[in-house]
Structure 1
Amino acid sequence: MLVDPARGYDLIGDVHGCAQALVRLLEALGYRQQSGVWRHPQRMALFLGDIVDRGPRIREALHIVHAMVEAGQALCIMGNHEFNALGWSTPAPPGSGRQFVREHTPRHARMIRQTLEQFEEHPGDWQAFLTWFYRLPMFLDAGRFRLVHACWDAELIDSLRGAYPDGRIDEAFLQGSALPGSFASRVFNRLLRGTDMRLPDGQTLTGDDGITRAFFRTKFWEEDPQTYGDIVFQPDALPDEVARMPLSESEKSMLLRYGAKEPMLFVGHYWRSGRPAPIRPNLACLDYSAVLYGKLVAYRLDQETRIDPRKFAWVEVERPEALQ
């Protein structure tokens, strides 16, 4: 997808239905609503996906972002929650052992519940948005900077471009993601969910969300990690005894590394907290847990080639707005 490298951009992290916070952030960034669309005279918004699920005003948030995109005032890439919504609504291919691409398990039902409830009286609206989700690219490469929801894997992205040059997938790709180990499954899991590693010795970890997992999310940029603690990248810390355990050479070899000399990369997805800041001079996460009473964060990108800590902007999400 082509963008104007000379233009100013406001990169915005995971909204998750926090429409009121999005309006306050756009106002703070100098956008004004004209003819039903939020516009800026010189700048353009770039959304990092995950507009849907969890929050109280998902339909409103989608309409804001969709209107901006359709009017040429914004671009939006796909998040794992948009991909999941398509999978929830799409029959699985023969031989997958599933009824839908995203199985209708109790856990998956909880994740999409607020979205489905808020569109219950607007089925036509929901179908239109599902169709629109196919127009959201899996990544954006502007040369000087890149956007992906969770993780930039150059090899997978190069392969994806061969079949989908603009990064926009179709139903065949979505259905292919239901087949474990398929190319579509690997692309979805890596680009939209990130990298992970199995906890050692069959251990599990129950997070603050109440879900017990055998894997933990990992950094995809650490140059010389030595222990599990060096690579963990998630809100839930590893137990101290696990964090101190050394990585094996085979585990190190499986890690992805986004080099320090690569173009600036902006991601969402990771539920960060605290004061927004770069992870490295060429890497920033803009997801600061808006729907958990955190911050809805933007980065004001101009002509710089390294991320400026002074150019983060945000609004605090007030409790009536966030997850009830």
Structure 2
Amino acid sequence: MAAIKTTANRGYDIIGDIHGCAHTLERLLEQMGYRKISGIYQHPRRQAIFIGDIIDRGPRIRESLHLVRDMVEHGAARMVMGNHEYNALGYCTRARPGSGKKFLREHNARHNRLIKETLEQFHAYPHEWNEFLEWFYTIPLFIEEEDFRVVHACWDQTLIDQFRERQKGACIDEDFLHASSAIESFAGQVMDTLLRGTDLRLPDGMSITGRDGYVREFFRTKFWADDPRTYADVVFQPDPLPRPVAKMPIGEEERKQLLSYPQDLLPVFVGHYWMDGAPAPLKNNVACIDYSAVKYGKLAAYRFDGEKALSADKFVWVDVDRPEQPDYPTSEDSVAR
């Protein structure tokens, strides 16, 4: 593998959630000056960093995985794990005897639907799929360089420091995967927080039904909010809170559950959150790169060159249009959230 250069010598292009949109990824790479050399997309002066969630939902998951893995293995890219890669490991890993479960991730209707396209597209290539599952163990949960950080959903410094100490690095192993199936465990908290984000329980036993039909008693929250006062100040998800709830003040107990990401910390890049509109930083040192590509939004990237204050003019993107349609029939819910 090629040696990784520092930002002083090399720029980085952080690329959002792909979800099987391989044709769109190729368009974005080519727009940024990457060219195929011996079948691998490469740039003479820059390195791509994928934010995770290469799989599930989209029409060309297998092609996307091959493209990304080839780039990573040849030093043209790096990648952090997304919750969908983690979910796939759990879904395909048998639970240990005595656990009361067959698989680490339950094979229920919702989980079956989320991984449906991935398993269908690898149906004729089972050995490849098993190799990719093994490869997922080599993907770090986070990247931290001298002047930037990358994680799929949330940078929690305390959990990351504890994880580094216990795992002696940034990757999980099969023992950690098994341990993480208990959400209340340390391993469960690491995977849920870093790969899915932080949340708060809705008040008074309330629940909300998202656009995906899933009923939730929690809502996703910002890990970077500065001095939030109401629920509206911290909510960060596509489905809005009911207006009366959004106006409610945050209590002291809830405030203790929130994270912060002060302005003087390194710029951090996340995906995961299904943004829309014109790409722009969330604050001077926080940027989300996920702009809903698989829902015919944008496949976006941030071209980072060591700046301390992130800027909207460093985002590039391609709009995802109908040519990303599959070459074969797929389920009608393949692009549902």
Q: TM-score band, normalised by the shorter chain? A: over 0.9
Match of 2:256 in 1: 253
1:134-171 per-position Cα deviation (integer Å, ceiling 9, x unaligned): 00000001121000000000010001101223301100
Match status 1:40 vs 2:46: no
Please give the alpha-carbon distance, in whole angstroms, between the structure 2 residues aligned to 1:319 and 1:207: 25
1:288-307 per-position Cα deviation (integer Å, ceiling 9, x unaligned): 00000100000001121221
Match of 2:6 in 1: 4
Match status 1:81 vs 2:84: yes
How do 1:176-215 and structure 2 match up within 5 A?
A: 176-215=179-218
Match of 1:25 in 2: 28
**Pick from 266, 278, 282: which aligns with 2:285?**
282
Q: Secondary structure at the match of 2:239?
A: coil
Q: Which runs of 5+ in 2 are unaligned?
A: 326-333
Q: Secondary structure at the match of 2:116?
A: helix
Q: Secondary structure at the match of 1:112?
A: helix
Q: Which moved more, 1:90-99 or 1:111-120?
A: 90-99
Total equivalences in the alignment: 324
How do 1:138-287 and structure 2 match up within 5 A?
A: 138-287=141-290
Counterpart AA for 2:256:
S
CA contact (8 A) 1:3 1:142 kept: no
1:1-35 per-position Cα deviation (integer Å, ceiling 9, x unaligned): 97623211111010000001000000000001111
Match status 1:57 vs 2:66: no
Please give the alpha-carbon distance, in whole angstroms, between the structure 1 residues aligned to 2:142 and 2:98: 29
Please give the alpha-carbon distance, in whole angstroms, between the structure 1 residues aligned to 2:96 and 2:263: 40
Counterpart AA for 1:119:
F
Match of 2:328 in 1: none
Please give the alpha-carbon distance, in whole angstroms, between the structure 1 residues aligned to 2:317 and 2:96: 42
Counterpart AA for 1:200:
P
Q: Secondary structure at the match of 2:322?
A: coil
Please give the alpha-carbon distance, in whole angstroms, between the structure 1 residues aligned to 2:324 and 2:61: 11
Counterpart AA for 1:303:
G
Match of 1:133 in 2: 136
Counterpart AA for 2:90:
G
Please give the alpha-carbon distance, in whole angstroms, between the structure 2 residues aligned to 1:211 and 1:157: 29
Q: Which runs of 5+ in 1 are unaligned?
A: none
Q: Secondary structure at the match of 1:81?
A: helix
Please give the alpha-carbon distance, in whole angstroms, between the structure 1 residues aligned to 2:148 and 2:124: 40
Please give the alpha-carbon distance, in whole angstroms, between the structure 1 residues aligned to 2:240 and 2:148: 30
TM-score (norm 2): 0.93
Please give the alpha-carbon distance, in whole angstroms, between the structure 1 residues aligned to 2:307 and 2:115: 38
Q: Secondary structure at the match of 1:269?
A: coil
Q: Secondary structure at the match of 1:54?
A: coil
Q: Secondary structure at the match of 2:250?
A: coil
- Gap change, CA 1:35 and 1:191, over 3 Å in 2: same
Match of 1:72 in 2: 75
Please give the alpha-carbon distance, in whole angstroms, between the structure 1 residues aligned to 2:300 and 2:129: 26
Please give the alpha-carbon distance, in whole angstroms, between the structure 2 residues aligned to 1:314 and 1:166: 32
Match status 1:306 vs 2:309: yes
Please give the alpha-carbon distance, in whole angstroms, between the structure 1 residues aligned to 2:261 and 2:25: 30
CA contact (8 A) 2:4 2:75 kept: no
- Gap change, CA 1:200 and 1:296, over 3 Å in 2: same
Counterpart AA for 2:131:
A
CA contact (8 A) 1:9 1:302 kept: yes
Counterpart AA for 1:5:
T
Q: Secondary structure at the match of 1:69?
A: helix
Deviation at 1:207, TM superposition (A): 1.0
1:205-236 per-position Cα deviation (integer Å, ceiling 9, x unaligned): 11111111111100111121111111100011
Please give the alpha-carbon distance, in whole angstroms, between the structure 1 residues aligned to 2:257 and 2:157: 15
Q: Which moved more, 1:7-16 or 1:160-169?
A: 160-169
Counterpart AA for 1:23:
E
Counterpart AA for 1:275:
A
